[in-house]
Amino acid sequence: MTFFAKMRGAGTGPPPVPAAEILWSFLGAMAGIAAVAWLHERLADPLGLSMLIGSFGASAVLLYGAPKSPLAQPRNLVGGHVLSALVGVTARLALAEPEWLVCALAVAGAIAVMHATGTLHPPGGATALIAVTGGPKIIALGYLYVVFPVLSGALVMLLVALLAVNAAPTRRYPEYWL
């Protein structure tokens, strides 16, 4: 029995992930985050904009690690992030204090809007929260936050997913567009 099998407990838990699947997930995530981070460093940051937010790390898990998941599909990725960003910025502008309430309203509102529109993407909750807590640079963007970094970064990650996931002979992305 391997070390990892012992850690999971013999015969319990999910089946092991094949090494090839792990490698393709690693390569896709590496390419997706590298592309967004490179564009941030080379293009967006010199212009005083951003393309990189923490919630894209969670999107990478879904896109490159679980590309068949309904939560990873293009509609969910782009729609979930964009709508959540709109909700987060709106909550911050509508109610400045207390911050704990603005945070809760942004995340809960984002979840409700994603459910109502069929765009549920769990990292969207973080995108809404970042609109409230992201610091002076993010807050100064106002609704531009929806375009840079949210829409632009999500589209870059989608493009990389189309290339990277489909490069694997046993993987396909997307399962559906809308």
Model pLDDT, residue 2: 61
Q: Which domain holds residue 113?
A: 19-167
Q: Please say whether the beta carbons of 75 and 129 come within 8 A.
A: no
Q: What is the pTM of this model?
A: 0.92
Amino acid 8: pLDDT: 55
- Summarised one tens digit per residue, pLDDT across range 18-62 is 999 999 999 999 999 999 999 999 999 999 888 999 999 999 999
Output the pLDDT for position 3: 59
Domain-located, residue 145:
yes
N-terminal to C-terminal alpha carbon distance within the chain: 44
Assigned domain for 14 exists: no
Whole-number pLDDT of residue 96: 83
Question: Does 6 map to a domain?
Answer: no
Q: Is 1 a member of any domain? A: no
- The list of the chain residues with pLDDT below 50 reads none
Instruction: Count structural domains, the chain.
Output: 1
